[in-house]
Protein backbone atom coordinates (compact mmCIF):
# COMPACT_ATOMS: atom_id res chain seq x y z
CA UNK A 1 0.00 0.00 0.00
CA UNK A 2 0.95 3.67 0.06
CA UNK A 3 0.55 6.37 2.66
CA UNK A 4 -1.12 9.40 1.13
CA UNK A 5 -1.70 12.75 2.76
CA UNK A 6 -3.77 15.66 1.53
CA UNK A 7 -3.76 19.30 2.54
CA UNK A 8 -5.97 20.93 3.54
CA UNK A 9 -8.29 18.33 5.01
CA UNK A 10 -11.18 20.75 4.71
CA UNK A 11 -11.84 24.36 3.80
CA UNK A 12 -14.67 26.82 3.47
CA UNK A 13 -14.17 29.26 0.60
CA UNK A 14 -15.92 32.20 -0.91
CA UNK A 15 -17.40 32.17 -4.38
CA UNK A 16 -14.96 33.32 -7.05
CA UNK A 17 -11.80 32.37 -5.19
CA UNK A 18 -9.42 29.48 -5.88
CA UNK A 19 -8.10 26.69 -3.69
CA UNK A 20 -5.07 24.49 -4.24
CA UNK A 21 -5.11 21.00 -2.78
CA UNK A 22 -1.88 19.12 -2.22
CA UNK A 23 -1.34 15.38 -2.39
CA UNK A 24 1.83 13.82 -1.00
CA UNK A 25 2.76 10.12 -1.22
CA UNK A 26 5.34 8.43 0.96
CA UNK A 27 7.00 6.66 -1.98
CA UNK A 28 7.29 6.99 -5.73
CA UNK A 29 4.25 5.94 -7.70
CA UNK A 30 3.56 5.68 -11.39
CA UNK A 31 0.01 6.92 -11.54
CA UNK A 32 -1.73 9.73 -9.67
CA UNK A 33 -5.38 10.61 -10.09
CA UNK A 34 -7.82 13.22 -8.85
CA UNK A 35 -11.44 12.32 -8.15
CA UNK A 36 -14.44 14.32 -7.03
CA UNK A 37 -17.15 12.99 -4.75
CA UNK A 38 -20.16 15.29 -4.66
CA UNK A 39 -22.42 15.11 -1.60
CA UNK A 40 -24.14 11.75 -1.40
CA UNK A 41 -22.73 10.60 -4.70
CA UNK A 42 -20.10 8.30 -6.09
CA UNK A 43 -16.60 9.16 -7.24
CA UNK A 44 -15.96 10.76 -10.59
CA UNK A 45 -12.52 10.94 -12.13
CA UNK A 46 -11.39 14.49 -12.86
CA UNK A 47 -8.01 13.81 -14.40
CA UNK A 48 -4.84 11.77 -14.44
CA UNK A 49 -1.85 13.75 -13.22
CA UNK A 50 1.13 13.13 -15.50
CA UNK A 51 4.63 13.83 -14.37
CA UNK A 52 6.34 16.39 -16.53
CA UNK A 53 3.42 16.93 -18.88
CA UNK A 54 -0.11 18.23 -18.93
CA UNK A 55 -2.74 16.27 -17.06
CA UNK A 56 -5.23 14.11 -18.95
CA UNK A 57 -8.75 15.37 -18.26
CA UNK A 58 -11.99 13.43 -18.39
CA UNK A 59 -15.03 14.60 -20.27
CA UNK A 60 -16.63 17.54 -18.51
CA UNK A 61 -13.47 18.73 -16.79
CA UNK A 62 -11.12 21.35 -18.21
CA UNK A 63 -7.67 22.60 -17.36
CA UNK A 64 -8.77 26.20 -16.83
CA UNK A 65 -11.13 25.15 -14.07
CA UNK A 66 -9.00 22.38 -12.54
CA UNK A 67 -5.31 23.02 -13.22
CA UNK A 68 -3.13 20.16 -12.05
CA UNK A 69 0.58 19.91 -11.45
CA UNK A 70 2.80 16.91 -10.88
CA UNK A 71 6.41 17.96 -10.54
CA UNK A 72 7.69 14.56 -9.39
CA UNK A 73 6.64 10.99 -8.62
CA UNK A 74 5.41 11.68 -5.09
CA UNK A 75 3.53 14.99 -5.27
CA UNK A 76 0.63 16.56 -7.10
CA UNK A 77 -1.65 19.56 -6.73
CA UNK A 78 -5.19 20.22 -7.88
CA UNK A 79 -6.50 23.77 -8.03
CA UNK A 80 -10.21 24.48 -8.07
CA UNK A 81 -10.48 27.85 -9.79
CA UNK A 82 -13.16 30.53 -9.68
CA UNK A 83 -15.21 28.45 -7.31
CA UNK A 84 -18.97 28.31 -7.14
CA UNK A 85 -21.23 26.48 -4.66
CA UNK A 86 -21.53 23.65 -7.20
CA UNK A 87 -17.85 22.89 -6.57
CA UNK A 88 -18.61 21.88 -2.99
CA UNK A 89 -17.37 18.29 -2.87
CA UNK A 90 -14.79 15.99 -1.44
CA UNK A 91 -11.70 15.92 -3.61
CA UNK A 92 -9.64 12.74 -3.43
CA UNK A 93 -6.17 11.98 -4.61
CA UNK A 94 -5.37 8.38 -5.50
CA UNK A 95 -2.26 6.55 -6.62
CA UNK A 96 -1.32 3.32 -8.28
CA UNK A 97 2.10 1.81 -8.43
CA UNK A 98 1.70 0.68 -12.00
CA UNK A 99 -0.38 1.85 -14.90
CA UNK A 100 -2.16 -1.41 -15.55
CA UNK A 101 -5.89 -1.45 -14.97
CA UNK A 102 -5.73 -4.47 -12.70
CA UNK A 103 -3.70 -2.66 -10.11
CA UNK A 104 -5.59 -1.33 -7.14
CA UNK A 105 -5.55 2.33 -6.32
CA UNK A 106 -4.92 3.78 -2.90
CA UNK A 107 -6.74 6.87 -1.81
CA UNK A 108 -5.87 9.84 0.31
CA UNK A 109 -8.18 10.98 3.11
CA UNK A 110 -9.80 13.60 0.91
CA UNK A 111 -10.30 17.35 1.07
CA UNK A 112 -13.78 18.48 1.99
CA UNK A 113 -14.50 21.76 0.21
CA UNK A 114 -17.47 23.98 0.95
CA UNK A 115 -18.06 27.01 -1.26
CA UNK A 116 -20.34 29.73 0.04
Partner 1 sequence: AQSVAQPEDQVNVAEGNPLTVKCTYSVSGNPYLFWYVQYPNRGLQFLLKYITGDNLVKGSYGFEAEFNKSQTSFHLKKPSALVSDSALYFCAAGGRRALTFGSGTRLQVQP
Q: Which residues bind partner 1 (CB under 8 A)?
A: 1, 4, 31, 33, 35, 41-45, 48, 56, 92, 94, 101-110, 112
Q: Closer to partner 1 by CB, 46 or 115: give it.
A: 46
Residue 116: strand, helix, or coil: coil
**99: nearest Cα among 63, 49, 57:** 49
Q: How far is the CB of 32 from partner 1 (least distance, A)?
A: 10
Q: How far is the CB of 103 from partner 1 (least distance, A)?
A: 7
**22: nearest Cα among 36, 35, 7, 11:** 7
Q: Closer to partner 1 by CB, 16 or 63: give it.
A: 63
Q: Closer to partner 1 by CB, 102 or 116: give it.
A: 102
Q: Closer to partner 1 by CB, 38 or 82: give it.
A: 38
Strands 4-7 and 43-49: unpaired
Q: How far is the CB of 30 from partner 1 (least distance, A)?
A: 12
**116: nearest Cα among 83, 70, 82:** 83
**112: nearest Cα among 82, 80, 70:** 80
Q: How far is the CB of 82 from partner 1 (least distance, A)?
A: 25
Amino acid sequence: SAVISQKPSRDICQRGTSLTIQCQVDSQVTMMFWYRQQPGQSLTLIATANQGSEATYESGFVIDKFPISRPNLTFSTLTVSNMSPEDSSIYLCSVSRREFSYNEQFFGPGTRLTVL
